[in-house]
Amino acid sequence: MEFSFTDEQQMIRDTAEGFLAEVSTSEAVRAGMATELGYDPQLWQRVCSEMFWQAIHIPEEYGGMGLGYVELVAMLEQMGRHLFCSPFYSTVCLGVNALLIAGSETQKSEYLPRIVEGKTATLAYTGAKGRWDAAGVELACTETGSGYALNGICRYVPDGHSADLLVVAARAPGSEGEEGISLFILPADADGVSRVWLPTMDQTRKQAEIRFDQVQVALEQRLGGAGDAWPQLATIIDLATVAIASDQVGGAQQALDSTVEYLKERVQFGRTIASYQAVKHKCADMMLKVEAARSGLYYAACIADEALSESPLGAELPEAASLAKAYCSDAYFFNAGCGIQLHGGVGFTEEYDIQLYFKRAKSTETFLGDGTYHRERIARLVLDGEAAA
């Protein structure tokens, strides 16, 4: 049984951990999150040129490293642990995945090398109603003869205000649900696109609203089929869901570790508060949550690999993504919430980092659907015998 990291995967994880411990310190996170951009552009350039992380799972023929989703997940886990402020998630886990799943050979050859060179990207599919399923696609696309015109609003778009490339989902007039959905790729500075940064409670993950006013896109900017791109978008969303769950596992781990570290130093009634059983048991529950979350995540990572290589096991992706997201969301929130409580008064201060994890736990929980949403998807599979929508 080889359900553990290979030596190479372990090395990738350790390298990421080492680099992030150096560059994503508490001070660096706080500096990055205080800006509208949300990250240090010089650091991002360094990541792209020295670490080459943006290319991790881009196939070699497009200039990438050609590694798999397990390696990506291992890296994301460390980014979540260190609250790494960067456009990595939006570019790699949304933009690259969208191109890999829905892009034609020509489109992949055109856009993936640009991302390898350091261009950023994101996916905009959710409208103002804030739904994460097919009904969440509200942007309208109307055929113009030479292509399409996009009109409407996308909201809650990760790094939507700063990304260089946008992949957007839009629907044909009058369509609903999974019908009529198409995907497009366009430069963020296209005519008619206006982008508004949305200040967020969790400042480590930036969001934007993007407005489309008669935005003209050509036929060759359409990724995948005309009006029948939902299955591809669903896969892109599931892959993105596995990726955000990785961030959550890393964050849940750090919430536990930083809390235990504090408990071992804080003295009350003449002994460290780590020696109190009420406190120890809460920490044991936190460890159970994060280890179980990690077990579920690694399963989802393996399935994501299978899905990207189009092997039969990849059919489990919707279940695997929901399983991981439901459990990891709740585990992160539990650990970060317990973390604040166990820190006592200082847990409520701005100074200690546990509050940053608490906020990120909630923002990642909400993003792409919370535990309740994903359990309902699982319920449809096991109770109604339906394929997850």
281 binds other proteins (CB under 8 A): yes
For residue 314, the minimal CB distance to other proteins (Å) is 12
Count the Cβ atoms, other than its own, within 10 Å of residue 272: 15
Strands 147-158 and 193-198: unpaired
Binding-site member from 15, 272, 341, 366 for other proteins (CB under 8 A): 272
> Binding segment for other proteins among 75-83, 113-121, 209-217, 278-286 (CB under 8 A)?
278-286
Number of residues that bind other proteins (CB under 8 A): 49
387 belongs to the binding site for other proteins (CB under 8 A): no
Determine which residue in the list 284, 344, 348, 386 makes contact with other proteins, applying CB under 8 A.
284
137/279 with CB nearer other proteins: 279
Burial (0-12, 13-18, 19+ Cβ within 10 Å), 325: buried
**Measured between alpha carbons, how far is 226 from 135 in angstroms, rounded to an integer?**
17
Give the residue among 204, 185, 207 at the shortest CA–CA distance from 126.
207
Tokens 């005519």 correspond to 191
Q: How far is CA 270 from CA 13, 260, 266, 267, 274, in A?
A: 40, 18, 10, 6, 12
- Nearer Cβ to other proteins, position 98 or 286? 286
Token digits of residue 270: 């003449």
**Taking the complex as a whole, how short is the minimal distance between the CB of residue 292 and other proteins, in angstroms?**
5
268 binding other proteins? (CB under 8 A): no
Binding status of residue 264 toward other proteins by CB under 8 A: yes
Closest separation in Å from C-beta 361 to other proteins: 18
Residue 119: how many other CB atoms lie within 10 Å: 19
Which 311-370 residues touch other proteins, going by CB under 8 A? 313, 323, 326-327
Q: Which stretch binds other proteins (CB under 8 A): 121-129, 225-233, 347-355, 371-379?
A: 371-379
Q: Which of 34, 288, 346, 387 binds other proteins (CB under 8 A)?
A: 288
Is 144 a binder of other proteins (CB under 8 A)?
no
Q: Does 241 bind other proteins (CB under 8 A)?
A: no
CB 170 within 8 A of CB 182: yes
Q: Which residues fall within 8 angstroms of residue 275, CB to CB, at 6 or more apart? A: none
Q: What is the DSSP string of 217-244?
A: EEGGGEESSSSB-HHHHHHHHHHHHHHH
378 touches other proteins (CB under 8 A): yes
Hey, is 150 helix, strand or coil? strand
Whether the Cβ atoms of residue 213 and residue 151 lie closer than 8 Å to each other: yes
Residue 143 binds other proteins, judged by CB under 8 A: no
Binders in 289-318 for other proteins, by CB under 8 A: 291-296, 298-299, 301-303, 313
Which residues fall within 8 angstroms of residue 42, CB to CB, at 6 or more apart?
none
C-alpha distances in Å from residue 153, one per residue of 29, 120, 193, 348, 377: 30, 21, 10, 36, 26
Closest to other proteins by CB, 41 vs 314, is: 314
Between 199 and 312, name the residue whose CB sits nearer to other proteins: 312
Instruction: State in angstroms the smallest separation of the CB of 185 from other proteins.
Output: 31
The nearest distance, CB 336 to other proteins, in angstroms, is: 17
From candidates 16, 255, 274, 342, binder to other proteins by CB under 8 A: 274
C-alpha span between 299 and 302 (Å, rounded) = 5
By the criterion CB under 8 A, which residues form the site for other proteins? 1-6, 9, 70, 256, 260, 263-264, 271-272, 274-275, 277, 279-281, 283-285, 287-288, 291-296, 298-299, 301-303, 313, 323, 326-327, 372, 375-379, 382-384
